[in-house]
Amino acid sequence: MFVLGIESSCDETAAAVVTERKELLSNVVFSQQEHKAFGGVVPEIAARAHLQRVDDIVETAVKNAGIGFSDLSAVAAAGGPGLIGGVIVGVMTAKAIAAVHDIPFIAVNHLEGHALTARLTADISFPYLLFLTSGGHCQILAVENVGKYKRLGATIDDAAGEAFDKVAKMLGLGYPGGPMIERYAETGDDKRFDLPRPMVGKEGCDLSFSGLKTAVRRLIETSGTFSEKDKADMAACFQRAVSDEIVSRLKNGIKMFKKLYPDGKNLVVGGGVAANMALRRDLMALAEKNGMTFFAPPVRLCTDNGAMIAWAGMERFLKGSVDSLDFAPRPRWPLDPSAKR
Ligand code: KG4
Ligand code: ZN
């Protein structure tokens, strides 16, 4: 079976084809460069850029997979949450392919794409504890099954990726900030600046990054000039503080998870920030300390891509869970609808 997946919910226009045997036959990702001058994604520009490129990218993905459109078993698109203009572009493209080739259409929750990606490259059974960390979302979830999520905690302010991007902007490192901070941090001294770990020691497993970002801003403002060495040190201190905050909150998350699922022993990460090697190392150590096995998708499958949508689409397709062509794109779409915030 072949499922085509289309991703267009933020600033990546992407498409991929996967099989039910976890073969990733193609994975075409185009990261829009149009936003660089603005230091962040401009929704209108993103929507237009998706529209310009989506047909080519989808055609290339099908061609690179060595198949034709008539071989597809189903077509999936990210149906939200995300920037609505872009989501509409991907969903309309997928619906048109579904209608022309008379195959099922599947609207994939973008967050479910991140949540299930690790299962494309490793055999991970349910339930598992998931740390989902991207530019717009930061949550700790129990993944019970495809489509079944229980949120244990979430950020009370910024997402971790958003904090990476904002701090990178303050340091003049460009967008997206995560990879640049990681690069600068490699040569920096992670003990030079004293930064807060906002939620450490508190009950539950909610997270917070906004105070950390403000502390960085204050230090930059009061220091006058900021040399390359200062930037590297700040990047290292910031990355360390983010990782400490996450590890400390996940420690509580693991306790909550184990209470609910005494047999659950897998810790999984997903989303763009999961590409961060320092964080991955810390999470691996945390998992080991708590008798859990740690899984992270390959770095290129952490940031937005078509494979995550194709694979989540395949998982849904195999369960017979497909959507009607009446599906309306969703700017908001929580994985756990019972979660309050
Ligand atoms: O999952 P993603 O591609 O898009 C969303 O769904 O939001 O995540 C993008 C976020 C950005 O904030 C980016 O700065 C961050 O992931 N990111 C990283 C790294 N690579 C991407 N953050 C830290 N370290 C990285 N290596
Ligand atoms: Zn994403």
What residue spans define the domains of the chain? Answer: 2-115+301-318, 126-299
Q: What is the pLDDT of residue 196?
A: 97
**80 close to ligand 1 (CB < 6 Angstrom):** no
Q: Evaluate: CB of 235 within 6 angstroms of ligand 1.
A: no
| DSSP H/E element including 316 | helix 306-318
Q: CA 127, 129, 130: angle at the middle one, nearest 5?
A: 120
Calculated CA dihedral for residues 189, 190, 192, 198, nearest 10 degrees:
160
Distance CA(312)–CA(119), nearest Å, equals 9
Please tell me the predicted confidence (pLDDT) of residue 176.
Answer: 86
pLDDT value of position 235: 98
Per the omega criterion (within 30 degrees of 0), is the bond before 298 cis? Answer: no
The confidence score (pLDDT) of residue 341 equals 65
Q: Are 279 and 273 in contact (CB under 8 A)?
A: yes
158 lines ligand 1 (CB under 6 A): no
The answer to whether 104 touches 34, Cβ cutoff 8 Å, is no
Convert the pLDDT of each residue in 138-167 to its tens digit.
999 999 999 999 999 999 999 999 999 999
Q: Rounded to whole angstroms, how far apart are CA atoms 4 and 21?
A: 14
DSSP assignments along 214-228, one per residue: HHHHHHHHHHS---H
Under CATH, domain 126-299 is a member of which superfamily? ATPase, nucleotide binding domain (3.30.420.40)
pTM: 0.97
Question: What angle (nearest 5°) sits at the alpha carbon of residue 220, between those of residues 217 and 226?
Answer: 145
Tell the CATH topology of 2-115+301-318.
Answer: Nucleotidyltransferase; domain 5 (3.30.420)
How much distance in Å is there from the Cα of 235 to the middle of ligand 2? 23
Asked whether this chain's domains 2-115+301-318 and 126-299 adopt the same fold, the reply is yes
Nearest alpha carbon, ligand 1 atom 22: 178
Ligand 1 neighbour 7 (Cβ under 6 A): no
One digit per residue, the tens of pLDDT, for the chain of length 341 reads 999 999 999 999 999 999 999 999 999 999 999 998 887 899 999 999 999 999 999 999 999 999 999 999 999 999 999 999 999 999 999 999 999 999 999 999 999 999 999 999 999 999 999 999 999 999 999 999 999 999 999 999 999 999 999 999 999 998 889 999 999 999 999 999 999 999 999 999 999 999 999 999 999 999 988 999 999 999 999 999 999 999 999 999 999 999 999 999 999 999 999 999 999 999 999 999 999 999 999 999 999 999 999 999 999 999 999 999 999 999 999 999 999 76
Pocket test for ligand 1, best of 303, 305, 308 (most atoms within 8 A of CB): 303
How many C-beta neighbours within 10 Å does residue 213 have? 23
CA distance 53 to 150: 36
Taking the CA of residue 302 as reference, the ligand 1 atom at the shortest distance is 1
| pLDDT value of residue 174 | 86
d(CA 278, CA 78): 29
Q: 30: CA distance to ligand 1 center in Å?
A: 15
Q: 3-class DSSP state for residue 36?
A: helix
Q: What is the position in ligand 1's atom list of the atom closest to the CA of 168?
A: 14
177 lines ligand 1 (CB under 6 A): yes
**Closest ligand to residue 159's CA:** 1
Amino acid symbol at 106: I
Q: How far is the CA of 30 from the centre of ligand 2 (A)?
A: 14
